[in-house]
Chain A
Amino acid sequence: MNIIEIKELSHMFSNGTLVLDKIDFSVKKGEFIVIAGPNGSGKTTLLRHLNGLLFPTGGTVMVDGVSVSEDPVRARRIVGMVFQDSDTQIIGETVREDVAFGPENLCLGRKEIEQRTSEALRITGLTCMVDSRPHLLSGGEKRRLAIAGVLAMKPDVLTFDEPFSNLDYPGTRQVLKQIIELHKSGCTIIITTHDLEKVIAHADRLIIMKDGKIVRAGFPEQIISDAELFGIKEPYFSRMGLGMISWLS
């Protein structure tokens, strides 16, 4: 069953720039999709349509059978988004408060909020930092906090905008491990990146974008060798014919 269906999605900025040009694709429940493309290819703009932060200037985006334009709040409950810059996503003054921010917005009872907060902190391994100041955490911890904040809202789909940017090697591994565990637990995952090497080994499907269009879509093994045609570095293991190698192996 498709949880997201995008038909002929176009988006034009107010200055007349066409950022997305007739995008068509759908996402099945439980899928792990990587959307790759160089800077300015429209990846982030596409993600922002999935939870109603942007609305199409043409075409439709349906989340679980309902148009995002008609009910963006519902879309935001179903599709959680982890932003590229964790600092702008962190709202609370402590780790616990930040995670509770989403459930509070859903007008849940205090007990339910506490339960969801504790659960999200446990999953992301931040339980020992509940009273820390978020802005004093390391890059990897901040990214995990951003994930916890979204997880507490119990979305069905998790979208990550460049989740490994500005992270060192241990931080990247921590976040990648987290994403894979979430996928194993049943979450649908959509990741945008221009750095395929870190994540492609875990993806079910790869979509390559350039200039606001989908130029390739399919199984990673089949289309990854075309990545460099569109300004994305082909992973070393693929170039050397070594198959898909995870960063966690």
Chain B
Amino acid sequence: MAELTSFSYRPRISLIHKIDARFKLLFIVIIGFLSLKASLPSVLLLSVFVVYGLVRIGISIWQVVRDLYIFIFFLAFVFAIRAFSAGGAVFITIFEMGLTYEGLIEGSLVCLRIILMILLGLLFTSTTRIAEVKAAIDWIFKPLPFISGSRVSTMTGLMMRFIPVILEQARETASAQKARSIENRKNPVYRMVKFSVPLIERIFYNAGRISMAMEARCYSDMRTGQKLSSTMNDWITLIVILLIGIISVLFL
């Protein structure tokens, strides 16, 4: 038996699962734009709502942290750049670079916005079937001329299909290297190269095998799609999200 990665669909009966995929995409866009205008407490509040949603559908936050631990280094880097580059009164100097209170706030805000978008993406992929995502994207692109909605949706569907595969491969590669005492090598560049080269090779190899298996089952962008239908719940959720957004931007 395999262990699930965080970015996998989890079949459950929940309100979030039942929401139409088109509305979910709209919610991501709305929250994304709101977070750009929102202050630190507002983004924090929105993040709390998303984390609550993740916990409700049974996702372990520790597993998310474990799956995305490499990303934490990226966030730390972004935070450090922001914290040391923003203007304001310097209260600590490290290697001739001044750390400011404004920088700390700005760095935290940028990192929190990125985290919010990742968590939203996670909530979306965990509660939406790829077939529904494909159907939603197809619906969005249908009125646009010169863009094949079915092709864009197929590409998106394939991308979503491969995210858990990539995470699984990363986990297996890391385990295999730990089993051969990679921790004894202290040079991070050496470790990075030894991790990323075989990982990329394996990802391409497995992508080739999966696409061959899909081809064997006549996969193309012309296929019977999922039917989408919106309900009263979707509209109520939209109003609630708009209200939360407006309140958090205006009053926090």
Q: Which residues of A contact B (CB under 8 A)?
A: 48, 51, 53, 73, 76-77, 80-81, 83, 85, 87-89, 91, 93-94, 97, 101-110, 113, 131, 133, 135-138, 149-150, 153
Contacts and interface: CB of A to CB of B under 8 A. Distances in A.
Contacts of B224: 103-104, 106-110, 113
A53 B209 CA distance: 11
A80 B4 CA distance: 29
A131 B4 CA distance: 15
Nearest to B209: A88
Interface in B1-26: 1-2, 4, 8-11
Nearest to B129: A93
Given A107-B222, A110-B224, A102 B2 contact: no
B130 interface: yes
Interface stretch (B93-101, B212-220, B238-246): B212-220
B131 interface: yes
B161 interface: yes
Contacts of A150: 217
A53 B217 contact: no
B4 A53 contact: no
B186 interface: no
B150 to A, nearest CB: 12
B173 interface: no
B40 to A, nearest CB: 36
Contacts of A94: 9, 11
Contact of B209 (A80, A85, A104, A137): A85
B2 A135 contact: yes
Given A91-B161, A131-B11, A53 B215 contact: yes
Q: Which of B11, B129, B210, B216 gathers the greatest number of chain A CB atoms within 10 Å?
A: B216
Contacts of B209: 83, 85, 88
Contacts of A110: 224, 227
Interface string B216-241: 11111011110100000000000000
Interface of B: 1-2, 4, 8-11, 129-131, 161, 206, 209-210, 212-220, 222-225, 227
Contacts of A108: 224
The 8 tightest CB contacts between A and B, nearest first, are A93-B9, A105-B218, A88-B209, A102-B217, A89-B213, A104-B224, A135-B2, A105-B223
Nearest to A113: B224
23 contacts: A76-B216, A83-B216, A85-B209, A87-B2, A88-B209, A88-B213, A91-B210, A91-B213, A93-B129, A93-B130, A97-B131, A103-B224, A105-B217, A106-B224, A107-B223, A110-B224, A133-B8, A133-B10, A133-B11, A136-B1, A137-B1, A149-B217, A153-B217
Nearest to B224: A104
Contacts of A103: 224
Contacts of A51: 216
B164 to A, nearest CB: 8
B11 A91 contact: no
Nearest to B210: A88
B214 A91 contact: yes
B4 A133 contact: yes
A91 B131 CA distance: 11
Contacts of B212: 48, 53, 88
A138 B218 contact: no
A135 B10 CA distance: 12
A87 B222 CA distance: 24
Given A53-B216, A105-B220, A131-B11, A138 B1 contact: yes
A150 B208 CA distance: 19
B215 A102 contact: no
Contact of A101 (B215, B217, B225): B217
Contacts of B220: 105
Kindly name the residue among A73, A88, A109, A137 whose own CB sees the greatest number of chain B CB atoms within 10 A.
Answer: A88
A231 to B, nearest CB: 25
A135 B216 contact: no
B3 to A, nearest CB: 9
A73 B217 CA distance: 9
Contacts of A81: 216
A97 B131 CA distance: 9
A53 B208 CA distance: 12
A84 to B, nearest CB: 10
Nearest to B131: A97
